[in-house]
Amino acid sequence: MTDAFALLSEPRRPWLDPDVLKSRVLPLLAGTHPDRVHGGSEPERLAANARHAELNEALNLLKEPRDRLLHLYSLEAGEKPRDIQRIPPGTMDLFVEVGQLCRDLDAFLKRKAEASSPMVRVALMEEGFSWLDRVQDLQARVNVRRDALVSELQQLNAIWEAAPPVNDPARRSALPLERLEQLYRSMSYVARWTGQLQERLVGLAT
């Protein structure tokens, strides 16, 4: 497995500021851009393309919290999480609420799409404002959950910084990998919920 942290000369850690990461990596990307070797031989151009794509892929992997946590866990544990469908602690309430709201809102959007009477459409438009408030309120609560996860990831950085070196046999036991796996699953659900709610907001706006 390619270590995206090592590839970008970044120490392994749960939290990375995406803007800071991007500012550090952009000079690397610029230095390997295929345009810099457009007059070179075909092997040189192919090598530059491959290197540029590799660095860009590593950047995209590490800047997204969910993807970064999965990658970090896989590097440290030597395997991917086994039970990613299991609902992590502290997310059951939002899991139920988001699921129920999406089901109910989908039924409303179906009625809205099928309505032909102008009076019915006006009534549904007014009802849509109520749905908009509910979706935005739930998204705000999801954002609070996301911010709490980010805060915990930032705190975990200190543990990674104090851990034995990457190839030290004592490293794995010094890292809270079970908690890292739970945070990965929580971040996955938060990203999924945000996408689901944004999709419904678009439906309400059309």
User: Do both 115 and 191 map to the same domain?
Assistant: yes
The more confident residue out of 177 and 125 is 177
Give the residue-averaged pLDDT of 121-139.
93
Question: Is residue 2's pLDDT more than 70?
Answer: yes
User: Do both 106 and 160 map to the same domain?
Assistant: yes
CATH number where 12 lies: 1.10.287.110
- Residue 73 belongs to some domain of the structure: no
**Of 26-30, 31-35, 37-41, 74-78, which range is least confident?**
37-41
Query: Tell me, what's the pLDDT at 158?
Result: 97
Question: Is residue 97's pLDDT more than 90?
Answer: yes
pLDDT in tens, 9-36: 999 999 999 999 999 988 887 777 766 6
pLDDT in tens, 99-125: 999 999 999 999 999 988 888 888 898
Query: Tell me, what's the pLDDT at 83?
Result: 67
User: Do both 98 and 50 map to the same domain?
Assistant: no
Q: Which domain holds residue 40?
A: 4-63
| CA 160/CA 63 separation, integer angstroms | 18
- Residue 146 belongs to some domain of the structure: yes
User: Do both 44 and 118 map to the same domain?
Assistant: no
Question: Is residue 130's pLDDT more than 90?
Answer: yes
Amino acid at site 182: Q
Calculated CA dihedral for residues 85, 89, 94, 99, nearest 10 degrees: 20
The more confident residue out of 84 and 183 is 183
- Residue 167 belongs to some domain of the structure: yes
- Residue 164 belongs to some domain of the structure: yes
- Residue 22 belongs to some domain of the structure: yes
Query: Tell me, what's the pLDDT at 120?
Result: 87
User: Do both 199 and 116 map to the same domain?
Assistant: yes
- Residue 81 belongs to some domain of the structure: no
**For the chain, what is the domain count?**
2
Give the residue-averaged pLDDT of 80-92.
78
| CA 195/CA 70 separation, integer angstroms | 19
- The 3 state secondary structure assigned to 120-150 is HHHHHHHHHHHHHHHHHHHHHHHHHHHHHHH
Query: Tell me, what's the pLDDT at 201?
Result: 95
Structure token digits, residue 162: 């104090």
Question: Is residue 195's pLDDT more than 90?
Answer: yes
- Residue 82 belongs to some domain of the structure: no
